[in-house]
Chains A and B, each alone.
Chain A
Amino acid sequence: MELFIQQIFSGIATGGIYALLALSLVVSRLATGQINFAQGEMATFSTFVAWWMMTALGLPYWFVFLATILLSFFGGMVLEITIFKPFERASAFAQITVFIGLLLIFNGLSGWIFDYEPKAFPSSPFADIVLFQNNYLSSHEMGMLFVTLLVAISLGLFFQFTKLGLAMRASYQNPELSSLSGIRIGRLLAVAWGLSAAIAAVAGMLIAPIVFLDPNMMGSILLYAMTAAVLGGTDSMIGAVVGGLLVGIIENLIGTYVPFSGNDLKLPIALLLILIMLLVKPSGLFGKPVYKKL
């Protein structure tokens, strides 16, 4: 029983990692209609920049944390304006190709500039706060889950109740009508990219202390985060969080209780989950079905 509980909590901790990245995927999808495959690598790159600021420039943690979020926000906006803009009206395939290209570029950049040796991301302040000392979750993991929930709720409120958030959703759902109503779609897209890049940066900085920072840090996490997003609904914040936790827990339980090859099945199970979800309820557990007028 103890093992079961341990694995559940361990799954919740890993699930938190997936949920964070899934949130940035959902944001980019909510505003642009596409899942940004390069999100993981952008997160890694942002985290490297943060690492550099802390180690080479010796700046304090919270300053770097906020600075990286801001830099990533503006970086995301610049990316949209310079690279993605020509492809705004292009086919989904063309857009996906751009994302994959960005994935390769950022991965290469991270490796080239910061080299491939795993680096320890300086301990987050969460590690020092001993609130609920227990055997199940480290204080960093608890802090991370707290931040995940905070981000999810804030984003949910933002998209539901603020003018900007509503405008973003509108421009994704119906670009022509939105621009006719005076919404500057181009600007909103840039803001959306900035926002998802900023969230991805948060994800990277919170994940790095656990998995250690190297250019390929997010490679497999992106896959699980996508599973989480599909599971929970690619346009739902709560879906992303629940999806992430579910993927983490299921993965751990399979690894523990399926004999012989449990650990080998983690990745295939994740992909199977995507498949099943797309077959049974494509909009995910919390997503809204999309209806198209024929």
Chain B
Amino acid sequence: MYRILPLVSFCLFSTVALSANLESTADTKDIIIGNTAPYSGPASAYGTIGKAEAAYFNKINAEGGINGHKIIFLSRDDGYNPAKTVEQTRKLIEQDHALFIFSSVGTAPSASVQPYLNSNKIPQMVASGSARFRNPKEFPWSIGMIAPYTLEAQVYADYVINHIPNAKIGILYQNDDYGKEFVKAFQDALGSKASTLIVQKQSYNVTDPTVDSQIVNLKASGANVFLDVSGPKFAAQAIRKMHDVHWTPVHILNSTSALREAIFKPSGYDKVQGLITVGSLKEPSDPKWKDDKAVKDYVSFMKQYYPEGNVNDMLNQAGYAYAQAVVQLLKECGNDLSRENIMKHATHLKLSLPIMYPGIEIETSPTDYSFIKTYQLVKIVGDSWEPVGSIKKVTSPENKQK
């Protein structure tokens, strides 16, 4: 009987103590933003997003901060390992008193801390386009900042149905959540036509040295449309192999890998003429934007605040864009920098960033967490992107009934 008392009081005490640790210090001058990114390991190419964001926050601080508050951006390495993400995120929240988690890189790593952050009512803004971060019913505190892959897939499906008669589609996809989600969304968007239109699907694992065998199989299937849902390196290999075996289908490439400087230029623009993707950011190397003010601002920002970063790396531009969005969001919060208010503004966003393709908007609502719902198809003509058709506004299937 007497032993229960210390036990109970211990439990009560530790609960109070633990919950006290989770509270943010929202009344101090500084805004502490927590972030996890892969600075080591196989996905370390994505670490540059965190570096670009840190550089942007340095710029904002140099210009006076947000409504007088300075930003303290704490970015921790998780090596794209979900187990490490859990550890680092907890440290950020409980020891470093981060106000919220911003731009955590990767679907799997971010998913591992989603329950923890949601049950503790901490905003989680994720650099991922996965559907699990657009689920306000189950995870109201998580929101994905990348244009949803599923909506991108829908745009491609619509294009094929409406513009390519007698299409025979071959798909190459990465054998993980990203690739599978994309392909499923594409098939769902094709609806009943999916089984007749898709003639071949080939997957690859990130551990495969090349995708040559898959390309050979896709060509043999007679496909005249090629949907390529692969990472940058494999997309480059696919372009090379397609050229080697003289296969010239209509080539649709997911926007993550449709990189002019990193992939098309070294492979040779002659091999990618007519390649289609959705435009997202204005590339500094694209002659089309050479006099564009937003691009010039971005280039001078990189020169001054992140000179060792590659100005042509789309990841840096993405980080720049996300950082701009969150700075805007925080400005709108005014003096109420509580987590509730931050989340409220995150779900009532409406802005367009000049560095983004004209017409693309960021717009969220409490029922629709998709950051971006507008898409512009583009294709390679010469060494530049030209628009194909007009801007499309896409509604995600889960929001279609509303």
Residues of A within 8 A of B (CB): 2-3, 6-7, 10-11, 13-14, 17, 108, 111, 115-120, 135, 138, 210-212, 214-216, 219-221, 223-224, 251-252, 255-256, 263-264, 266-267
Contact = CB atoms under 8 A, between A and B. Distances in A.
B237 A220 contact: no
Contacts of B246: 135
Interface string B291-325: 00000000000000000001001000000000000
Given A6-B220, A138-B244, A219 B42 contact: yes
Contact of A2 (B44, B48, B220): B220
Identify whether the interface residues of B are mostly helix, strand, loop, or mixed.
Answer: helix
Residue of A3, A7, A115, A212 with most partner-chain B CB within 10 A: A212
B208 A266 contact: yes
Given A2-B220, A118-B236, A220-B207, 6 more contacts: A10-B216, A14-B212, A120-B236, A138-B244, A214-B45, A264-B175
B204 interface: yes
B202 interface: yes
A147 B310 CA distance: 35
A contact patch SS: helix
13 contacts: A2-B220, A3-B217, A10-B212, A14-B209, A116-B47, A212-B233, A212-B236, A214-B233, A255-B217, A256-B216, A263-B175, A263-B208, A263-B214
Contact of A116 (B44, B210, B213, B245): B44
Nearest to A265: B205
A186 to B, nearest CB: 35
Contacts, number: 91
B209 A220 contact: yes
Interface residues of B, number: 35
Residue from B216, B240, B245, B266 whose CB has the most chain A CB atoms within 10 Å: B216
Contact of A255 (B213, B220, B232): B213
B42 A14 contact: no
Nearest to B214: A263
A211 B209 contact: yes
A138 B202 CA distance: 22
Contacts of B214: 255, 263
A210 B240 contact: yes
A108 B40 contact: yes
B396 interface: no
A219 B208 CA distance: 9
Contact of B266 (A119, A224, A263): A119
A117 B210 contact: no
Contacts of B48: 115
B266 A7 contact: no
